[in-house]
Structures are given as structure tokens and as C-alpha cells.
Chains A and B, each alone.
Chain A
Amino acid sequence: MREEGRGKGEEGEPGNQTVRALSVPPFPLPSSPVPAIRMDGIDKSFGAIRANRGASLEVLPGEIHALVGENGAGKSTLMRILGGLMKPDAGHVEVNGRDVTGWSTSEAIAAGIGIVHQHFMLVPTLSVAENLVLGAEPKSRGIVLDYKRAADDVRTLSNETGLVIAPERLISDLSVGEAQRVEILKVLFRGARILVLDEPTAVLSPPEVRELWTVLRRLRDKGDTIVLITHRLDEVVEISSTISVMRAGQTVARVKTSETTPGEIARLMVGREVSLSAGKRVQPSGRSAAPPPDQGLEVLNLSVMGSRGTRVIDNISFSVKPGEIFGIAGVEGNGQTELIEALAGLRAIFAGEILIDGTDISRSSVAQRHDAGLSHIPEDRHRRGLILEYTVANNLILGVQKDFSKRGIIDKTLVMENALREITSFDIRPPNALLAARALSGGNQQKVVVAREMGRTFSVLLASQPTRGVDVGAIEFIHQQLLEARAEGKAILLVSAELNEVLALSDRVAVMYRGKFAVVMPSSEASEEVLGEYMIGTKKGNAA
């Protein structure tokens, strides 16, 4: 079944291993071998927003091609057009030399295009094998699902590609990294030979990312073509052979990876110079007078029970002082989410105490914790951080709606003034306060959340994955905001899957492993290598 995938319409594509990326002429000259994907002059508008304006993309067969650009640059739209989810307003699309402009999703799948979306589309109550065969189930006697055959098929494919996963396991039991493996297996199972991966590493830990790279290289060596959408420039440099850069709906560059630098790609993406090192450390200005000892966040012997009756947080104690960023690294699923939820009042604690500026808030409601000086950038802006149908202006008052109402009636003038101010100072685009949050790109949605949480009065900030799925320019900006808050004497607890983010911003770092801190150390003594070992549990540390 997979062998048919590459079938139709691929004349003149001999031995794609030999004509790989290295012979790519620089943008915008057309290349000589028949490209696996060729998109040209693509226009696509949504109302007044022009997502693609003459965008182009050329991907050679058997290469790993990185498609980079800020949020809202039009990458996803371009890939949706490729996958048949949308039809372009103008321009044309060729796959393996065949004009396929305006095709349907089923045609795209039949021609071997497989898109792995950023948000998983799996049925949690079904097994891996059942998810893979969904819609094309092997049947015995015409009606009964041939479960064994499905599992065998999955196992074969799994061994072929190195995407190891037991077919019997339930999706709900898988880690994020494993779920992603299933997503990739799913498109391969349908015969995909041109894979598009949308931000595949956004939710992965460093070891999981390395595994993914191994798999992608293996697929490439088998002759598959891979388009990788990502924001992370280090990844681009590590894995891709060619890079296309998009900005404001246009393709502004197509370069060989070996001939460029992360700095140049960042400049092309944003259109100006960007610093990649999360800014030079701003030294806290108020350090001269040591703060009173009970200021900031204090956590004593905290334990939290998980849904299966185990301790997901196991007797943790730590404190974050005013003017300090305390970073927590760790592979996702080791209790970081539960820790933040317990601190924010969204999850009941089993034992222990939480104090803000000396006040015990262990049993307080979310609203009482706000009043005590807690601010919280949640890890999931779609589920928690925003009400997607509400306008930007209304989202900018979520959690502080009390301050914007008089005798129970919301003061629209105050709400709008606030929106104007935050939109301007955080450069939220498009700058329209009455647009639904749903209509904004991921990076701009995150800016709304950050603007709101930084804009309120607070002394302790919980920043959970503050730059997840956000583009380079916005990452830089959010990092600066965090550093400024630190300089103003706020206590900041930073949880991030990005090791370099934790290292660059934090004064002290901890690694969470199975509900405990494996290690706590000053970030000046930490490095990615050291923390990485604690993260995967090969090294057990001082704080356990």
C-alpha cells in the first residue's frame, strides 16, 4: 500500500538520492530536477488579511526542507493549500511535476502528501493500531475489525521507520513524544512520501527531539521528502539541507543551509537584526537593599495527587525571591504542569503550604490568589489563557474584570483604553481591539496573554512555557518583558521545555524528574549537557 503512494505523475524523477539538495541553485532561479513540490505565485486572502502574496516554495525530492517565518507569515496557509485543505486565489501548485492546483485533500493524500499537524488528531480511547487504521480498517469476513492484522501492519511499519511504539497501547497512555510518533506513523501508513511537519518539536524534550531527527534522516535516506515548519533556528541548521524563509505572506529567501547562519535567517524572518541570546542579563537594580526574608514565593513540602492516585508532585520545597527568576526544566509530564496548576489554584493540593509575600494561599481560590499578588501565564493559551470567541479587548481583562467594572457593570471606556495601551505597547497584530482572539496568530495570542498578566499588579509571576509556538521576534520581546519584571523586583517562576530559554533567563535552575527536583543549581554552573542528564534520569542529584 505504501509503495503505491509515490506512483502517479512522477516522470523524470530518477534516483532522487543523487540529485539531493546540494545542487540547489540560490533563490529565485528555477532548479533543474523535477521538484517534489513546486508552488508558485500563491495568493490567498481571508477577508482583509492577505495570508499569502505571491508566495513560492520549491522542494527537491529526498531532501529535508525547512520552512521558517514568524507567526502569521503564511507558512501554515501555504501548507494547507499544498494539502488540499484550501484553494489558492492565484498561483499554481505542482507535485512531482504534475499541476495539481486546487486539488482536494483526498487527491493530496492519494498522491502521497502527508501533513502532521501541530495539534494531535488522535482518538484517546483507541489503541495505536486502531488509530492508524481508522477509516481504512482491515476487516475479516467483511465486517469484523481484523485487529491482529492491523497490529502486525503497524509493527512492520514501525520497525521499517524506527518509529517504535507498541500497537496495543492506548493513545491516552502515551507521552506527547510518543503521540507524535503515532501521528507520523499515521501519515506514513496512508502511503505518504512527502511529509509536512508543522512545528513538530514544540512539545518535545531534547532527547525526544534527537530521536525525531534520527527518524527523519532515516525517512529521507529512504527517499521521502520532508518539509519542516519550525521557529527554532538551531533545529533548522541541524536537520535541513535547504531553507525557505517567509515574511508577510511572501517567500523572501531560499538558501542552502550550509551557506547561511542562524543570525542571517533570523534577520530574513523578522526583517531586522535580532539578538538570539535572550538579551544580555539585566542586573536587578534593587539588589542593594536585600528584600525581607518572607517576600516572594515560598513553597513548603508540597504534594499533589495525580488522576491515578499517585503523587505527581512529591514533597517539593523551594522559594523564589523578589528580583529572581527560578527556572524549572524537565521532560514534559514530570509534574511541571501539575505544579503550576497547584500554585495557581487550579488543582487541589494534597499536603504542604504555598505562601506569597508571607501570606498562606494554600487553600485560597484563584481570585484570592490574584489578589494576593499572583500572576500566571498558562502553558495552554487555547484552553486556559484565552476565551477565543471574546474580543482582544475582553481577553485583556480576563482575571482582572473586577478592576474594569463599577457596581457590577463593565466600564467599556476603561476596557477600550486598556486595550489600546496594551495593543500598542505589545505590538499586537492586527491592531484591532474588537477582533476575536481566535482570529489572531499564535504569537499574537500569546502577546495578549503576556500583556494582560504583566499589566496587572503582581509580585509573583508563574510563567509556564511563555514562548511556546511563538516566533523569534516575539520570543525576544517576551524574554525582555520577563527580565524587566525581574529588574522591577518581581519573583518569577519559569517553566519551559526549552532548555536554552531556562538557562538564558534564570538565576537558579531546577530539573524536575518524576515529581521531584532532581537538582537545583545556579544557572551559572549549569549547562544543557548537565541538565539533560538529570532530565532523562541518568543522573540523580542533590535535591531529591
Chain B
Amino acid sequence: MSAPSLAEGTKPTFAAAPWRERAQEALIPPLVALLVALICGDLLILSYGQSPAAVYRLLLEGTWGNAYGFGQVLYKATTLAFTGLAVSFGLRAGLFNIGGESQLAAGGFAAALIGLVLPVGTPLILALLICMIAAGFAGGVVGSVPAYLKTRFGAHEVIVTIMLNFIVLALLNWFIAGHLHVPETLHTPEIHAGVLPRLADIDSRFHGSAANLALIVAVLIASAVWFYLFRTRGGYDLRAVGLQPQAAEYGGISVGRVWMRALTFSGVIAGMGGINYVLGYKHYYEDGFASGAGFLGIAVALVGRNHPFGVIIAAFFFATLSQGGLAIHAFVPKQMMDVLQGVVIIAVATAVPEVRRILRDARKRSDA
């Protein structure tokens, strides 16, 4: 063959960017965004006539500083990890799943229903498995509706998932209020089987906190999502569709099938999140337990930059803000934390690309 050979002395390589560069790019931009958020927080606290240092110390003590607070952070982070992973999984295929709220609720409802149906004394592992599968299945059913409508009729998934939130939540409310509630409440009776052990059962210092083993499930699912996205053919296809649908189609990938799979599994992941409250914390389904966690998952996915492990970290961060709001309520309104959440989201959306650009420019200058 008359192919020109490579220029003398050059060999093909697999050299990715040096790890130091990659670490800088991964860590510095979010840290800058955090700094921006902290400064905004300072100004807000000062406007209430309080000392920022004192308030932040309280915030840290109330969250990571004691076992109960930390347990609450873990608990809140778990639900957010599920919904954040769900949103990011859809986004990797180029689809925006806004339906986390209703998928989460449907998952919790299904888990409670199965927990009520199973007889007392069902072996724990078996009961847990069945309840989890039920939760994932229910979330997946809710997720598959927009998936099918998009693939079959081209209906935009954002519209369908938003509208489906109203429908599914109303249906669940009707079930609970009309049929399944314990009198005087809006929740089901306690489940008979499938109760997830709490962390307090393992380490008594967590006593009183809601943290439970659903956390482990969340981390396992994040790992599974990572493996699927970056190691399997399905993940290769899914990311290809998300990046360039026309090139994916050219490469023999069925775009519709990938959409179907991505939105359905996004729903499965969000639905599994229901076990944290139902199996791990209250042991019953209560109307409105999901309120906000589904939507906050969008922010978690954004701040976690759609990477499974980034999502876990972001979930911890938002959980800390949420729990921290309770800790500082005596000094400043806890709604301040909602404001800070907003600031973080805006800071990440704007500062991260900008800081990354500055980093790259600086590197270019030092190379030249």
C-alpha cells in the first residue's frame, strides 16, 4: 500500500490531557461558582444584620457537624441523587425529563402498595427486591408515556412530562384520599414488609435521623449508570444520539429506540427514588412526599454536569443547603437557602464555562 507513513519519530498515542489539567478543569470552575454563591450569601446575611461567619458556622454544625444533622443531609441527598441521576440520564440522550416529580411519587406509591400486599414475615431481601422493582417499574411506566409519544408522534418530551406530572399526581391523590388513606390523614397504612434498615440501626449516633440504606442503592445506581454510559454499546449509542442524532442515525443507531430506552430508564431511576421515603423513612406513602425533589433533580443534574458521580456530589451539596436552612432559621429566614440554591445554579451555569475558558487561555500562554 502506498499510504504515506507517519512523519518520522511520531507514534500514535492515547495521550489524554494530563491528569493535572483534567483535575483543574473538573475542580476549579465549581469551586469558583461556590465562592460566588458564598459571597452572595454573605451579603444576604449582612442585610439581616447577622455575622456571616457565625451563620455559616451554625450551618456547618447543623449539617456536617453532628451525627443527626449529617444523617438528615444523607437522607435528603439520597432522594436528590435519584432524581438528579434520572434527569442527567435523559439529558445524555438529549432529552429533558421534567417528570421526575410524578415518577418519584409513582415509584413511592408502588413500593408502598407492594409493601402492604406482601405478607408480614416475607424475607427482608426478597421483600426489598420486589418493592424496589415495583418502584422502578411504576416510574418506568410514567416515563415510557412521553417516550412513546415522542418516538411515535414527535410530541415534545418537555411538554408531555410536565403535563403528566399534573395527571399522575392527581391520580395518586385520588387513590390516597378516596381509597387507601388512614382516616384523618393523607397517607397509607404502614407497610408490612420491605422496610429498609436505617443508619441509626447500625450506628446509634444517627438516632432520630431518617438516613437509611437507600443511600447505598443510590450509589450503586450511579455506578451502574456510569458503567452503562461509558463502557457499554448501549451507552455509546445513547450518548451519540444525545450529541448528534443525525450522525447516530448514519451509524445505524435507531434514534427512536434510544429515546424510548433513555426516557423510560430515566423514569425507572426517578421511581426508585421513592424507596428512600417509603421503605427507608416513614414506611408508608404520603400524598405530596415528593414535593420539589423531582424538580430540584434538574438543578442537581446541571451542577453535577450530567456525570453520575458529579450528580452524587451535587446532591450532597443541595441537601446540605436544604438541611442547613433549618439550622440557621433562628438567625435568618430558612428561605435564604432557597435563594442560595438559585444563586448556585446561576453561578454554575455562567461561571463554569467562563472559568474553564480562562484556565485554557492561561495554559496556552504558559505553553507558548
Contacts and interface: CB of A to CB of B under 8 A. Distances in A.
Interface residues of A, number: 49
Nearest to A398: B251
Contact of B252 (A366, A385, A423): A366
A390 interface: yes
A316 interface: no
B14 to A, nearest CB: 5
Contacts of B360: 47
Contacts of B239: 390
Interface in A365-409: 365-367, 370, 376, 378, 383-390, 393-394, 398-399, 401-402, 405, 408-409
Contacts, number: 112
Contacts of A419: 12, 14
A104 B368 CA distance: 22
B122 interface: no
Contacts of B252: 365-367, 370, 399
Interface string B207-240: 0000000000000000000000001111011011
Contact of A408 (B13, B232, B244): B232
Interface in B4-25: 4-7, 10-16
Interface in B324-342: none
Contact of A427 (B4, B231, B368): B4
Contacts of A46: 364
Contact of B236 (A43, A388, A401, A425): A401
A431 B13 contact: yes
A420 interface: yes
A402 B367 CA distance: 40
B246 A384 contact: yes
Given A45-B368, A384-B246, A477 B233 contact: no
Interface in A510-531: none
Contact of A386 (B247, B249, B254): B247
Contacts of B365: 89
Contacts of B234: 408
Secondary structure class of chain A's binding surface, majority of residues: mixed
Nearest to B230: A410
Nearest to B241: A387
B3 interface: yes
A346 B248 CA distance: 11
Contacts of A409: 231-233
Contacts of B46: none
Nearest to A393: B14
Nearest to B244: A387
Contacts of B249: 346, 366, 384
A388 B244 CA distance: 8
Contacts of A22: none
Interface string A471-509: 001000100100010000000000000000000000000
A130 to B, nearest CB: 28
A48 interface: yes
B53 interface: no
B243 A410 contact: no
A536 interface: no
Contact of A416 (B11, B14, B15, B253): B14
B12 A43 contact: no
Contacts of A121: none
Interface string B341-368: 0000000000000000000100111011
Contact of A410 (B10, B11, B236): B236
A384 B247 contact: yes
A47 B250 contact: no
B3 A425 contact: yes
A228 interface: no
Contacts of A423: 12
A484 B6 contact: no
A399 B251 contact: yes
B92 to A, nearest CB: 12
A277 interface: no
A219 interface: no
A398 B14 contact: no
A433 interface: yes
A128 B45 CA distance: 55
Contacts of B202: none
B47 interface: no
B15 A344 contact: no
A458 interface: no
A484 B12 contact: no
B335 to A, nearest CB: 39
Contacts of B251: 366, 398-399, 401
A198 to B, nearest CB: 23
Nearest to B254: A365
A513 to B, nearest CB: 27
20 contacts: A47-B363, A47-B364, A89-B365, A346-B250, A365-B254, A367-B253, A376-B250, A385-B250, A387-B244, A390-B243, A393-B14, A394-B236, A399-B251, A401-B237, A416-B14, A423-B12, A427-B3, A431-B10, A432-B14, A434-B13
Interface of B: 1-7, 10-16, 231-234, 236-237, 239-240, 243-244, 246-254, 360, 363-365, 367-368
Given A365-B252, A419-B12, 12 more contacts: A45-B367, A47-B360, A366-B251, A367-B254, A385-B250, A386-B247, A387-B243, A398-B251, A409-B232, A420-B12, A432-B15, A477-B4
Q: Which 3 A-B pairs have the closest CB atoms?
A: A367-B252, A399-B251, A398-B251
